[in-house]
Structure formats: structure tokens, C-alpha cells
Chains A and B, each alone.
Chain A
Amino acid sequence: AQSVTQLGSHVSVSEGALVLLRCNYSSSVPPYLFWYVQYPNQGLQLLLKYTTGATLVKGINGFEAEFKKSETSFHLTKPSAHMSDAAEYFCAVSSAGGTSYGKLTFGQGTILTVHP
């Protein structure tokens, strides 16, 4: 079984400030981890993913995330927030094996608000 917990359903930052969205996962097999962004009434867009290799992954729009196995975390960061970053962000876990093979399990989502 696999699960994802996103700490904080709402995060508010000022434009230019650091963005930190937290994600912890649980998986019985080595995880594949993803961050998606969703704008209102739209589908999900992949920001970045971790499968194997380098634990610090860079994605689109200046976002990056670090896989920390010891902490079972995959937090999303961006050094400087932009107004256009305001959206809802979902962390998701999948796996290469087990009963959840290929399936994505999503966290509850975090709504990011960016103030001028």
C-alpha cells in the first residue's frame, strides 16, 4: 500500500519569497514520486518527477524537489515565488512493483497563494 500526506492545505507567500510545499509518502516498495500543478478547472500538469538516480530533481518553472529516503519526504521548493505560481499542487507516489504498480496515489493537495 502507498499513501501521501501533504502538510498544509493552504500556503501563502509573498511574491519573491521562498516557496516550500511539504510532502511525505509511505510505500512498501521503492517509490516513484511526482509533483503536479493544477490551475482552476484544468487538468494536472507535471512539474517534476523522481524515479531513480539523483535525489535532487529540477522541474519546470524553477521548481525543484529533493527525495529524502530517510525522512520519506519529497518537498517541493522554489527560491522566488511569482504571481503565476498561484495554483493547487499535488504530490503523488507510484511504484514499479507491488499491488500499486503504475498507479498514482495523490496527496490532498496544497493551495498556494502568492501576495504582491
Chain B
Amino acid sequence: GAVVSQHPSRVICKSGTSVKIECRSLDFQATTMFWYRQFPKKSLMLMATSNEGSKATYEQGVEKDKFLINHASLTLSTLTVTSAHPEDSSFYICSARTPGTYEQYFGPGTRLTVT
């Protein structure tokens, strides 16, 4: 149980285009999902907390207009990187929290490369 999927697993896009990454909880309803960014050989940095039906809460220093987060249902959250630039290249990981617990289940990650 508690499986989280991400799509796509890997994406290459050109500078200036937008990319959407999906995060789905497959066998449970997640009222809260989290989006992380992981730089090479670095730890995970929390970007934002996504709550179903409300606006995402962004961490300090994360541009909300560049990283658009939508949590339209209890099983789906999306992260859209708008007007992507090479410095946005990174490994993006989402997680979902099971209701009533503090445990987060992580997706397999999405490798974004902006050329």
C-alpha cells in the first residue's frame, strides 16, 4: 500500500518552454502532497506544500509564479515549471502524506533537463 507515482520519469525540454510533472497517490487519498527538489549530490529541498482544494504554500525563496502547483483532487498534484531555464534542471520528487499520520511516501522522482 501507499504507492506514489510520478510522470514523466524523465523529460528534456528546450529553454523557454513549460513542463508539467504529475504526482499521483495510487492507493490512498492524500490531502497533502509535498514537492521537493534535489540537486546533484545534495539533499532534498522542500519547495512547497500542496493541499487539496487550496493554494500551495511555498517555502522561502521558491518562486510561486515559476513553479505552479495544483492539487485538484485527493490523488493528484501537478508541478508546472514555467519558462524553464537550464538552471531549473534538477531531480524533482513528490511525496504524499497519508491522512492522520506524519509519514510521507515518496514518488520515484522526475529528472528534468532543460537545454
Taking Cβ atoms with an 8 Å cutoff, the residues of A that contact B are: 32, 34, 36, 41-46, 49, 51, 90, 94, 96, 102-109
Contact = CB atoms under 8 A, between A and B. Distances in A.
Interface size class of B (residues with CB under 8 A): 20 to 34
A103 B46 CA distance: 8
Question: Which of B34, B93, B95, B102: most chain A CB closer than 10 A?
Answer: B102
Given A90-B44, A104-B46, A107-B43, A43 B108 contact: yes
Contact of A49 (B32, B43, B95, B103): B103
B43 A106 contact: yes
Given A90-B44, A102-B32, A41 B106 contact: no
A104 B104 CA distance: 9
A25 B108 CA distance: 26
Q: Is the interface of B mostly helix, strand, loop or mixed?
A: strand
A40 B108 CA distance: 10
Given A46-B103, A102-B49, 5 more contacts: A36-B106, A51-B102, A102-B32, A104-B44, A109-B42
B115 to A, nearest CB: 19
Interface string B1-38: 00010100000000000000000000000001010000
A42 B46 CA distance: 17
Interface of B: 4, 6, 32, 34, 42-44, 46, 49, 91, 93, 95, 97, 102-109, 111
B43 A94 contact: no
A109 B102 contact: no
Contacts of A102: 32, 49, 97, 102
A90 to B, nearest CB: 7
A42 B108 contact: yes
Contacts of B4: 43
B93 A44 contact: yes
